[in-house]
Amino acid sequence: MSEERQRRLTLAATVLGSSLAFIDASVVVVALPTIEGDLKLGLTGEQWVFLAYSLALAALYLPAGAVGDKRGRRETFVLGVVGFALASALAGAAPTGAVLILARGLQGVAGAFVSTNSLALLRESYGREAGRAVGLWTAFTSVATIAGPPVGGVIVEWFSWRWIFFINLPLAVATIVLAERGRCPQRKREQVGRLDLPGAVLAAVGFGALTYGMVEGAAHGFAAHWWAFLVAGLALAAFAVVETRVEEPMLPLTLFRRRNLAFSNLETFLVYGSLGGFFFFFTIYLQFLGFSPLQSGLANVPGSLVMIVLSARFGRVADEHGPRLLLTIGPALVGCGLILFSLMGEKSDFWRYGIVGLLLFSFGLAMLVAPITSTALQSAPPRYTGIASGLNQTVSRVGNLLAVATLGFVVLLVYEANGGDTGVALARHQHDPTLHSASVAAFRAAMLVAAGLAFAGAIVAWFGISNREARMSQEDTAVADVS
């Protein structure tokens, strides 16, 4: 079998494996009302079915990347897929809400090892051509993520909510087969000491506590969750100290001396916060305006088509001409799309403003995601590819969760300030004129804040990203490929 075919099989494996992890982050949202009725979770239980997965991902991306660098990226990726399949089986068979929440947390643990090492494995397999491969990976995994809600709606409506988990089992088997058949001649990889367990634990505790404090604080009051921020601050401070003293740190802080690595991750934090706010509130708001859950999910299909067609091409453009311009224009287009979404006050406004907003948003997203991911990975030395991947995905996940929590707080404040003293903001079938108007104002505020994050990301790219450094990183990768 030719090396090129092996690379393609590896690409297919990473796309399928990462799609499993990404879909389960979104598809469960559609099924939550049905799950709640079956397992009697209550609202808090519903929240934790979603949060247990997301928190585990955010907390373990960095350790997962470090494990892949030290133990082998393909091997770690495959073991992650196996773990994800086992956790999915437990989730599908869960007899109680507590078991389901536990299974979701285990899915998140395994998903961190899958998604982080999929990107590192691509760079290891494709070398200096990784930008195009990451573009293809981005296109298809983004489609899977966006397709999650409508597909979940179909499965829940026609079959059972348990099948949103059971369907992962045959897909996991296919992923493992593709990964094993796609084994390329392994490039030399430095084995660097022991795993930095103290750093891994502190990073997990720090990011987990910070995310927990923001999410729960926004929902139930920050005063009651001050301790989470204290724990997060102490853990992250201790993490920084440990990483400067251990012989082989999990996150070498010297990496941040590389301009593109620092600024691409700062942009990732801002822009993925904007994207997280959009994906969470936009689907809810469409249902508030009168669209069905399935229709709300299908509204993202045009954007997925744009991603399929353009992501790999934009990744190639970034490889050939540098990522700076794309990383500036992309977030700016996303921000413009979000402003148009903020103008939707009635169902008919979707056809007036929403369609154009989706086009701008989709083009901006396709222009952004592959170049920013490739830049974040290539800006690190090849030996630290897994760590760079884990760092970038940690930043994106934490930015996403913190933004959703913050925008939720904004929605609540604006809703109450505009007369929403009863009911629930953005609730379906909200016919009272005052409450309806308050929800519209709340959504508008959330979209404007999200747009501000996107525009801030564009500014960071324009002033921070260096095309010259990107070309030098590509040359370093080419030298590593030869050696």
What digits encode the pLDDT tens for the residues 86-113? Answer: 998 998 888 888 898 899 889 888 888 8
Residue 227 has a pLDDT of: 92
Q: What is the mean pLDDT of residues 396-420?
A: 81
SS3 assignment for the chain: CCHHHHHHHHHHHHHHHHHHHHHHHHHHHHHHHHHHHHHCCHHHHHHHHHHHHHHHHHHHHHHHHHHHHHHCHHHHHHHHHHHHHHHHHHHHCCCCHHHHHHHHHHHHHHHHHHHHHHHHHHHHHHHHHHHHHHHHHHHHHHHHHHHHHHHHHHHHHHCCCCHHHHCHHHHHHHHHHHHHHCCCCCCCCCCCCCCCHHHHHHHHHHHHHHHHHHHHHHHHCHHHHHHHHHHHHHHHHHHHHHHHHCCCCCCCHHHHHCHHHHHHHHHHHHHHHHHHHHHHHHHHHHHHHCCCHHHHHHCCHHHHHHHHHHHHHHHHHHHHHCCHHHHHHHHHHHHHHHHHHCCCCCCCHHHHHHHHHHHHHHHHHHHHHHHHHHHHHHCCCHHHHHHHHHHHHHHHHHHHHHHHHHHHHHHHHHHHHCCCCCCCCCCCCCCCHHHHHHHHHHHHHHHHHHHHHHHHHHHHHHHHCCHHHHHHHHHHHHHHHHC
- Domains belonging to the chain, first-starting first, are 1-182 (1.20.1250.20), 196-249 (no CATH), 258-483 (1.20.1250.20)
Q: Quote the CA–CA distance of 311 and 300 in Å, as a whole number.
A: 16
Which residue is it, tokens 């643990």?
A: 109
Specify the higher pLDDT residue, 281 or 464: 464
| Residue 342 banded pLDDT, cuts 50, 70, 90 | very high
| Residue 479 banded pLDDT, cuts 50, 70, 90 | very low
| Residue 457 banded pLDDT, cuts 50, 70, 90 | very high
Q: Is residue 476 over pLDDT 60?
A: no
Q: Quote the CA–CA distance of 97 and 5 in Å, as a whole number.
A: 44
CA 455, chain centre distance (Å): 19
**Per-position b or e across 244-274, b if 16+ CB within 10 A of its CB:** eebeebbbbeebeebebbbbbbbbbbbbbbb
**How many CB atoms neighbour CB 475 within 10 A?**
10
Please give the single-letter amino acid code of residue 418.
Answer: N
Q: What is the mean pLDDT of residues 429-456?
A: 90
Whether the Cβ atoms of residue 82 and residue 33 lie closer than 8 Å to each other: no
Q: Quote the CA–CA distance of 241 and 237 in Å, as a whole number.
A: 6
Locate 203 and state its tokens: 């990073």
Residue 193 has a pLDDT of: 46
Q: Quote the CA–CA distance of 295 and 319 in Å, as a whole number.
A: 37
From first CA to last CA, the distance across the chain in angstroms is 22
| Residue 147 banded pLDDT, cuts 50, 70, 90 | low
What digits encode the pLDDT tens for the residues 163-218? Answer: 888 888 888 888 888 777 766 655 545 444 456 678 778 877 887 787 678 767 76
Of the spans 113-122, 223-232, 417-426, which averages the highest pLDDT? 223-232
Locate 87 and state its tokens: 């956790």
Residue 292 has a pLDDT of: 73
